[in-house]
């Protein structure tokens, strides 16, 4: 069974732009969570989607948003990019609410 | 676990020795704990998990110990191999109502000397 896939793998943007990242969960998994990883803050939870509904949201500004489609694929969007948004954005999927989360390889975003 | 920013605690072990990586978690309401391994350029890889109704769980070459009294989690790796070199993260989840929101520790870098 294929793992979690994320596209693109690398991205360079400039301040003020917006970006959309994509995540395809493991087949059959209905929950998708997003995390931001930086050297300074470590791994931080952004939000979780289950059956197209946002179930949880972390402590990030409204510039960070996401959505989930009927096939469980998910996208996250960051508007008005800031230098501090440079990070590795990780997507994780699980069957449901209490099962193990499996991570994708991440999208490395650099904001210049 | 406590975030330590740019400086990750490092554990250096000789190949073949056993490794013990420790983690202090923050919330006594957490009922599910996971260890992940992250190699350079990759996403975190699931190693082993444990629920709060257990104090020990074993996998292949790995054992997780949970001490709820002092809110401490440890990962033991037997016969450590060069391929075990990575950053290890503990993560906790606070009850079923938390959905899949994981809170991660700052990580520990394991270096295996051949």
Cβ A101 vs Cβ A92: under 8 Å:
yes
CA R_g for chain B: 14
**A37: closest CA of chain B, how far (Å):** 10
Per the structure block, which two tokens stand in for A37? Answer: 């990883």
Do the Cβ atoms of B89 and B97 come closer than 8 Å?
no
In a 13 Å sphere around the CA of A96, the CA atoms on its Cβ side amount to: 3
Measured distance CA(A89)–CA(A21) in Å, rounded: 8
> In this model, does residue B47 exceed pLDDT 50?
yes
How would residue B5 be classed by pLDDT, with cut points 50, 70 and 90? very low
- Nearest CB to A101; choose among B100, B106, B107: B100
Task: Tell me the average confidence (pLDDT) per consecutive run of 10 residues in chain A, 112 residues long.
Answer: 92 98 96 95 94 92 97 97 97 86 97 98
pLDDT score at B3: 37
Decide if B102 and A31 are in contact by the 8 Å CB cutoff: no
pLDDT of residue B4: 34
Kindly report the average pLDDT of chain B as a whole number. Answer: 90
Tell me, letter by letter, the H, E, C secondary structure of chain B. Answer: CCCCCCCCCEEEEECCCCEEEEEECCCCCCCEEEEEEECCCCCCEEEEEEECCCCEEECCCEEEEEECCCCEEEEEECCCCHHHCEEEEEEEECCHHHCCCCEECCCEEEEEEC
Q: Do A105 and B43 touch (CB under 8 A)?
A: yes
pLDDT at A58: 93
Percent above pLDDT 70 for chain B = 90
Query: For position B35, what pLDDT does the model report?
Result: 97
The reported pLDDT for the residue numbered B1 is: 36
Q: What is the pLDDT of residue B8?
A: 84
Q: Decide if A78 contacts A86 (C-beta within 8 A).
A: no
pLDDT of residue B97: 64
- Whether B2 has a pLDDT exceeding 60, the answer reads no
- pLDDT of A96 reads 81
Q: Is the pLDDT of residue B44 over 90?
A: yes
B100 touching chain A per CB within 8 A: yes
Give the chain B residue whose CA is nearest to the CA of A108: B41
Asked if the model's pLDDT at residue B65 lies above 70, the reply is yes
Specify the pLDDT at position B7. Answer: 67
pLDDT at B9 over 70: yes
């Amino acid at each position: 069974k294929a793992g979690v896939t994320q596209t693109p793998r690398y991205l360079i943007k400039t301040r003020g732009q917006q970006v959309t990242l994509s995540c395809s969960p493991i087949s059959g998994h209905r929950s998708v969570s997003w995390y931001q990883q930086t050297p300074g803050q470590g791994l931080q939870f952004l939000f979780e989607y289950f059956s197209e509904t946002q179930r949880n949201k972390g402590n990030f500004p409204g510039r960070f948003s996401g959505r989930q489609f009927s096939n469980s694929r998910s996208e996250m969007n960051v508007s008005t990019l800031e230098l501090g948004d440079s990070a590795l954005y990780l997507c994780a999927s699980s069957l449901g609410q209490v099962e193990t989360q499996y991570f994708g390889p991440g999208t490395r975003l650099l904001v210049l | 676990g406590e975030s330590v920013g740019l400086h990750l605690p490092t554990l250096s072990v000789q190949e073949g020795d056993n490794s013990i990586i420790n983690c202090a978690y923050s919330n006594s309401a957490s009922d599910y704990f996971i260890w992940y391994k992250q190699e350079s350029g990759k996403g975190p890889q699931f190693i082993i998990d444990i629920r709060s109704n257990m104090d020990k769980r074993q996998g292949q070459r790995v054992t997780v110990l949970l001490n709820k009294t002092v809110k401490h989690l440890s990962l033991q790796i037997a016969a450590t191999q060069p391929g075990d070199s990575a950053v290890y993260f503990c993560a906790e989840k606070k009850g079923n109502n938390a959905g899949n929101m994981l809170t991660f520790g700052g990580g520990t870098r394991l270096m295996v000397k051949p």
